[in-house]
Structure 1
Amino acid sequence: MSNKQANGIAETEKNGKKSKDKSKKLSKKKYKKELKKLQLELVKLQRWVKEKGLKVVVLFEGRDAAGKGGTIKRITKRLNPRICRVVALGTPSDHEKNQWYFQRYVAHLPAAGEIVLFDRSWYNRAGVEKVMDFCTYDEYNEFMRSCPQFEMMIQRSGIILIKYWFSVSDHEQEKRFQARIEDPTKRWKISPMDLEAREKWIDYSRAKDDMFAATDVPESPWNVVEADVKKKARLNCISHLLKNVPYEDLPARKIELPDRQKAIDYERPPIDTQNFVPAKF
């Protein structure tokens, strides 16, 4: 066997191992341990953003059932909703359809000391609106041309912008859809639009490729999250986010619990005058 052949076999085995490692599940114990560490760092980041008056925008895009919502939930779980808020806009109203396209998103951009997570964003125009013919050819082209300029403009205003694309395989998406169909508590997650999107898998793939070609620029690049393994996707995304928003661990403010006020001419009303929730448990 030649060295070239040996190297080829070794490379094949290496790639196979790498592919296998990517799809390998993460133990629940390790996942919870790592997530707890990251959520503690997110609290430190939140404090830094508030203290320094930073403005942070994070976009979450990707296929339906790719795990965007689950990741957002893990990010916000330990954070103050007044500082870190989620924006998930529905179908635009007739009035909004007649506005400048970016206008309704601009209204949700952060003020100083805030973090905004967009669960889908202005990139709807490059995805669902393009594929489903919800916008005209000229509107789509104008978006692709102006989007990088819009993002550079908001960055020049002092906003930190980070964009994530959650990538999920055809097989894994179908598996998650089937799980949602079978679970009554998750069935609401599947909309008629999701089913139509499933039928147009290739059209969405082309739309995503075109979107990346026009908007994956050095000033605001796309960060792709491999999302076939949900737990890994969440940890990888949060870890990356923490590395891309510089922060420091500020000293914790000392908190002392004051003594409770003493009763002065106060008598609590009779309990039977209040309506209590029945104690069934």
Structure 2
Amino acid sequence: MNQRPSLTELTAFAAIVRHASFRAAADELGMSASTLSHMMRALEQRLGLRLFHRTTRSVAPTEAGARFFHNVSPVLSDLDRALADVGALSEQPTGSVRINAAEPAARALMDRIVPAFLERYPGIHVDLVVEGRLVDIVAEGFDAGVRLGESLPRDMVAVPFGGDCRLLCVASPDYLRRAGTPRTPDELARHPCVRFRLPSGKMYRWEFKRHGQEFKFDANGPITLDNMDLMVDAAIKGLGIAFVWDDTARPALDSGKLVTILDDWTPPFEGHYLYYPSHRLVPVALRAFVDVLKDVERQAPPPPRPR
């Protein structure tokens, strides 16, 4: 290769892989899709490698392209962090912090932490990407991610927030009067259940624990949903028993529209952690976000969970 790729080319290449789209990448970069396509063809010619599989409807990296992206992404991230670190020399930090989180974790961040952060650092933009799948935050260009304690990746700095979490078995009082109340998890097999589909497409297995005894249950019922707010609605309508987050069910429980069952089988477990790579320079915006998160947790501890 006679000439190294420019920073513009590398940035454009990474954007195409992240978006799986020339058009979306072009919008991000502020150029036309045709210009971007021409740039990538020129890069492929200089590298002597095909980086993308292109069709009229999709674009995906080749094996060589995927490997190139894996190696280039950390370099671009380090450069962004270095530039952000220089920005820390200014009196008021600027830039952005990009965080990946599932919906319950995103709600927890939005409750107290993000408002406090934006009040303290109005010059920093928060890009909160909400999705249920587990991602490689380094490879996909995130500064940080949020996961439950039990699923944290290795070799990461992890900062807890929000207290413990709990999943609850809930049903409407009318349903229980009509169908009876299960006393043990195995009795759920005789009841219609509202099933939950994970982002991977698999059905979530209900997990129960009491006095060291564990029970896993493959729920069966008339409806499958991928949103816990809708699962709560289904339970309120008497369509069956649902297994949902405490916070999601709490308004319906407080109003009496739902009640809990099998409480002694659903103990709390380790809650959410903000995590980020431990072996890289921490960008200024992320460092500021972590500081605010810690301050909020110290100053205003969340109410005891679960109830």
Range class of TM-score, shorter chain: under 0.3
Question: Which structure is higher in helix share?
Answer: 1
Question: Which structure is higher in strand share?
Answer: 2
Larger relative contact order (CA 8 Å, sep ≥ 6): 1
TM-score, length basis structure 1 = 0.24
